[in-house]
Amino acid sequence: MVGCAITGKISAIRLISINVPKEVIIKGNATFYCNYNIETDRLYSLKWYKRISHRDTEFFSYISGPEPNIHLNGAPGVNLDVDKSSATGDVLYLYDIDLTSEGYYKCEVIADYTFQALKLDSYMTVIVPPTKPPVIEGYKQFYTIGDVVTSYCFASYSKPESTIKWFINDQEVPHYYLITGNESNSGISFTLETKHLIDGRLRLCCTAFIDSDFRFKVSSEETIIKGNESNELESVPLIIGLKSNYMLGEYIDVNCTVRQMIYETSEPRLEWLIHNQKSIAETFAVDFRFDPHIRSCIQRVREREKTENLFLKIQNHI
Residue scoring higher pLDDT (281 or 192): 192
- Please give the Cα distance from 99 to 27 (Å, whole number): 9
What is the pTM for the complete model shown? 0.63
pLDDT, residue 242, reads 72
Give me the pLDDT at residue 218, please: 84
Dihedrals φ, ψ of 58, to 5°?
Answer: -70, 130
- What is the reported pLDDT for 316? 41
Residue 68 CB burial class (10 angstroms; 0-12, 13-18, ≥19): exposed
Average pLDDT for 7-35? 83
Burial letters for 7-33: b for 16+ Cβ neighbours within 10 Å, e otherwise?
eeeeebbebeebebbeebeeeeebebe
pLDDT band at 32 (very low <50, low <70, confident <90, very high): very high
Which residue, among 205, 204, 102, 210, has the nearest Cα to 157 in the 3D structure?
A: 210
The alpha carbons of the chain give a radius of gyration, in whole angstroms, of: 32
* pLDDT tens-digit map of 207-256: 988 876 667 788 887 788 887 765 444 455 667 677 767 777 777 777 77
Give the pLDDT mean for 296-311: 31
| Residues 285, 300: Cα–Cα separation, whole Å | 7
Which of 16, 18, 28, 35 is CA-nearest to residue 104? 18
Average pLDDT over residues 78-94: 95
Kindly report the number of other CB atoms within 10 A of residue 266's CB atom: 8
Instruction: List, for residues 44-64, the tens digit of each pLDDT value.
Output: 999 999 999 999 999 999 999
As a whole number of angstroms, the distance between CA 229 and CA 192 comes to 9
Provide the β-strand partners of residue 167.
172, 205
User: What single letter denotes the amino acid at residue 267?
Assistant: E
The C-alpha atoms of residue 133 and residue 155 are separated, in whole angstroms, by 7
* Residue 140: predicted pLDDT: 87
Q: How far apart are CA 173 and CA 188, in angstroms?
A: 9
DSSP H or E stretch at residue 171: strand 171-172
- Report pLDDT for 18: 94
* Residue 235, pLDDT score: 52
Q: What percent of the chain has pLDDT over 70?
A: 71
Label residue 308 by pLDDT band (50, 70, 90): very low
* Confidence check: pLDDT of 120 > 70: yes
Q: What is the pLDDT of residues 165-210, one digit of tens each?
A: 999 999 999 999 998 766 568 899 999 999 999 988 999 999 988 8
**Cα–Cα distances in angstroms (integers) from residue 120 to residues 18, 47, 217, in the given order:** 6, 11, 34
